[in-house]
Amino acid sequence: MEAIISTTGLDIRNILPFWMQQHLVKRAATAVFIKQRSKLYKLVDDIIKVKRASAEKGDKNAKADLMSFLIAGDGSVDGLTDNELRSNVITFIVAGHETTAVSLAWCFYSLAKEQSVQARLRDEIRVALSSKTGERLTYTEIEGMEYLNCVTKEILRLYPAAALVPRESINADVLGGYQIPPNTTIMLAPWVTHRSGDWDQPLKFIPERWIGWSGPSGVKRLSYMPFSSGPKMCIGHRLATLEMKCALIDAVNKFELKLLPGFVVKEKLRVTLRPEPSMTLLVSEIP
């Protein structure tokens, strides 16, 4: 975990423009990064060896997971090489673990504040689970849970994990009347856009606003972009939202979330939009 956190932190800082990160990336920090990256590479390489050996033996009892599918390929082409596997696994870790965790922290906080939303979500979850006999919900069943989808969208509107998204202009352009030269760093701010006056009661947590929503279109398509937008939007946005939904289904079904008396949290923009201080809630198991 130390290797993952250290490697993740410095890698993400390196995507920021120099004027934002020059005080963060020091020579000593780079040395730590290289050391921890080597540990992470070895850990992933060892897992790949075990998975490949299991696949070659045709072990039917082996757990089917994402790496197993990457190794096997889709039948029409060979699976990925070891280097390709390592790159993909580390990308999942670096790009996916903190963003989803932060989004879930804000989600649990919002549900603890709004008990009626939490109760309605729990009702929907339990209705969906009542038809299952020890089996997991399928992807189609999860995507069909309307209120769960609403809660997820509303959290990503109010608390987009990537509150700032850096982009670089390729050609000269004009934005809002400003001349933008080529090779200029532009910071998009989904956090600001999502809380603009274009939304009804923009600062309130209202999952119901998404009922019947089919997605923005035309100019308004950029009014909601928790994963950025266009051809360079987050390639893992579907996986991230599915992870959030699966975690919510398990947590809200089993536990009741409440705020600690007097607990006050603020949004702290670091690499992601983290809670400050760390999120602390009252969690009670329920039948």
Binding residues for heme: 234
**Which residues contribute to the annotated binding site?**
234
Degrees to nearest 5, angle at CA 269 with 121 and 233 = 70
Cα torsion 8, 12, 13, 18 to 10°: value is 150
Burial class (CB in 10 A: 0-12, 13-18, 19+), 120: middle
How many whole angstroms separate alpha carbon 96 and alpha carbon 226? 14
Tokens of 208: 């119901």
Is the distance from CB of 240 to CB of 99 less than 8 angstroms? yes
